[in-house]
Amino acid sequence: MNINKGRPLTLEHKKAISEALKGIPSSLKGCYLSEVTKEKIRISKLGSKNPAYRGGRTLSTGDGYYRLLIPNHPNANKRGYVLEHRYVMAEYLGRPLSKDEYVHHKNGNRQDNRVENLELFKGRSEHARLHMRTTNKNWVYLKKGCICPHCNKEISVEQITKIF
């Protein structure tokens, strides 16, 4: 269907069409692609084959932690990512970390994942106890607990009562 009915395309339309066709090989432009072919093209650009690939290390904008793409690691999430500070500690210890082990950044910088800056705690209450001892100000108190100003993790009332 020709929208312009014989009139030349405006510069704005040309730019929009150009943007829409980016990333599609010139031999496939204007052709109908089956779902199987589309999937093959998508798979061919995964991971290190993608021009935007940065080695599998990403910085989460939500919490400020680095994540590494290691799909077969025991501590990997369902998308295959492992928190870098947990990976560094696991490699240092020579074993995977359990879910109840917490890795603390001594200097408070979540992006500083050197072994000498990391400290392992056996549970959430032990980690919370450290934060309670270091500072009692800047805590955000909620009805069901509070939020630590250092790691922004929520600590329940039950965990606080176990600590003190």
pLDDT digits (tens, 9 = 90+) for 75-113: 999 888 899 999 999 999 999 999 888 888 888 788 899
- Tally of structural domains, the chain: 2
Mark whether 115 and 71 lie in a shared domain. Answer: yes
Mark whether 112 and 145 lie in a shared domain. Answer: no
User: Which domain, by its residues, includes 103?
Assistant: 53-122
Mark whether 114 and 151 lie in a shared domain. Answer: no
pLDDT above 50 for 61? yes
Instruction: Answer yes or no: is 6 within a domain.
Output: no
Instruction: Answer yes or no: is 32 within a domain.
Output: no
Mark whether 108 and 60 lie in a shared domain. Answer: yes
Question: At a CB cut-off of 8 Å and minimum separation 6, what does 9 contact?
Answer: 17
Instruction: Answer yes or no: is 27 within a domain.
Output: no
- The 10s digit of each residue's pLDDT in 105-128 is 888 788 899 999 998 888 766 666
Residue 150 has a pLDDT of 63
Residue 96 has a pLDDT of 92
Mean pLDDT, the chain, whole residue set? 76
Instruction: Answer yes or no: is 46 within a domain.
Output: no
Mark whether 146 and 117 lie in a shared domain. Answer: no
Region for 97 from its dihedrals, namely left if φ exceeds 0, alpha if ψ lies in -120 to 50, beta otherwise: beta
Residue 35: pLDDT band (50, 70, 90) is confident
Mark whether 95 and 134 lie in a shared domain. Answer: no
Mark whether 110 and 134 lie in a shared domain. Answer: no
Mark whether 61 and 98 lie in a shared domain. Answer: yes
- Calculate the alpha carbon distances from 152 to 13, 89, 94, 139 in Å: 47, 20, 28, 9
The C-alpha angle 114, 65, 110, rounded to 5 degrees, equals 50
Residue 159 has a pLDDT of 65
Q: Closest Cα to residue 159, out of 128, 116, 113?
A: 128
Mark whether 76 and 133 lie in a shared domain. Answer: no
Instruction: Answer yes or no: is 138 within a domain.
Output: yes
User: Bridge partners of 82?
Assistant: 68
Residue 1 has a pLDDT of 47
Which value, to the nearest 10 degrees, does the dihedral of the CA atoms of residues 137, 133, 92, 109 take?
Answer: 20
Task: Provide the whole-model pTM.
Answer: 0.53
Instruction: Answer yes or no: is 40 within a domain.
Output: no
Mark whether 117 and 80 lie in a shared domain. Answer: yes
Pair type for strands 102-105 and 118-121: antiparallel
DSSP state of 42: H
Question: At a CB cut-off of 8 Å and minimum separation 6, what does 149 contact?
Answer: 131, 135, 137, 138, 139, 140
Instruction: Answer yes or no: is 48 within a domain.
Output: no
Residue 33: pLDDT band (50, 70, 90) is confident
Mark whether 148 and 112 lie in a shared domain. Answer: no
Pair type for strands 66-69 and 81-83: antiparallel
Task: Taking residues 7-20, report their average pLDDT.
Answer: 78
Region for 34 from its dihedrals, namely left if φ exceeds 0, alpha if ψ lies in -120 to 50, beta otherwise: beta
Mark whether 118 and 57 lie in a shared domain. Answer: yes
Residue 88 has a pLDDT of 94
